Amino acid sequence: MFKVVCVGAFHRKGIELLESRPDLVTYEVLTDLSPENVARGVAGADAVVVRTTPLPRETLERADRLRIVSRHGVGTDNVDVAYLSSRKIPMAIAIDSNVGSVAEHTLMMLLALAKDAMAGDRATRSGDFAWRDRRTASDVAGKSALIMGFGRIGQRVGALCRALGLRVAAFDPYMERSPVEGVEMVKDFRAILPETDFLCLHLPSTPETRDLIGAGELALLKRGAFVLNCARGGIVDEDVLCDALESGHVGGAGLDVFAKEPPDTAHRLFRQEKVLLSPHNAALTEECAIRMATQAVQNVLDCLDGKLQPRVVMNRREIGMAWFFPCK
């Protein structure tokens, strides 16, 4: 019998999946997410399911029976994956769970910015019906989008943009050919910024992507362009972005993520009328919550059953994973 520790609550469908295997697992859900309590809980675990709570090396070192960590989602920046790899422990993700939800959220922001929807809403509520004659909205068909990070989410965004009639280019240092028809891969993203109307960020959080979009990159961007980040906070320098918004060089921004979360509402980002903000909830639809919970749990069960699929394991190369990985 294996013990599964769930670090944080998640959708009941995931718990039901655990409860469907009384022959294999018992489980504990940690609701006190203080570092001390998480370390205590993880210490007795054979498997861990985690949302966004940090799992640093000092916490993982206490888990001497640990066989797998499964992320409720796809980002792994809250887990010391290098340490897991040193112990040959797989770091699994809910690989396709949030693709459609995040892509739809990105398109919602893109269209809201292009149509100046926030200003239109404010004007209508205040009785300024003549606002419509200012014609501040614009069409997206025929405009250009640059997607930075062309994994599963970036590819879905690219397909949706193409369906709306945008010209789409993509940058991804790990990809040479586009799997999406009509999307051109570029090697130097800075070279294409001057002709970009929508800059869509779908990159992971790494030392290389920290503040990747700074003063130099925003200065290269086409005047009036929009910046969208539904990936990870810290990829865009928020202070520099505010400078570009206030000067009018950047036409607007849609941000679902922030360098610090929860963000400081005193930051001048929150005083920008041309910015659409959301609380890192692009993947938090009801449907996506079910997919993330059930896929995260299924990865654990597959591992403990000795049939974990390599495609869901982020560190498969580092741990020398074969076609099937026997976690027993």
Beta bridge partners, 277, equal: 255
Closest residue by Cα to residue 307 from 321, 325, 322: 325
Among this protein's residues, is 261 annotated catalytic? yes
**Beta-sheet pairing, 47-50 with 2-7:** parallel
CB proximity list for 35: less than 8 A, separation 6 or greater? 54, 59
Annotated active-site residue in 261, 271, 311, 317: 261
* Residues facing 26 on adjacent strands: 3
- CA triplet 196, 197, 200: central angle to 5 degrees? 80
C-alpha 193/C-alpha 147 separation (Å) is 11
Sheet holding 144-148, edge to edge: 183-185, 167-171, 144-148, 198-201, 225-229, 250-255, 275-277
The amino acid at residue 54 is P
Site of tokens 């005193």? 266
The CA R_g of the chain, rounded to the nearest whole Å, is: 22
Whether cis (ω within 30° of 0) applies to the bond prior to 263 is no
**What's the distance, Cα to Cα, between the start and end of the chain in Å?**
11
Q: Which amino acid is at 8?
A: G
Marked catalytic residue, from 71, 280, 291, 316: 280
What does the alpha-carbon distance between residue 102 and residue 234 come to, in Å, rounded to a whole number? 18
Instruction: Tell me which of 72, 105, 232, 291 is the catalytic residue.
Output: 232
Concerning whether 280 is annotated as a catalytic residue, the answer is yes
Judge whether 243 and 268 are in contact, CB under 8 Å: no
3-state secondary structure of 91: strand
Residues annotated catalytic, as ranges = 232, 261, 280
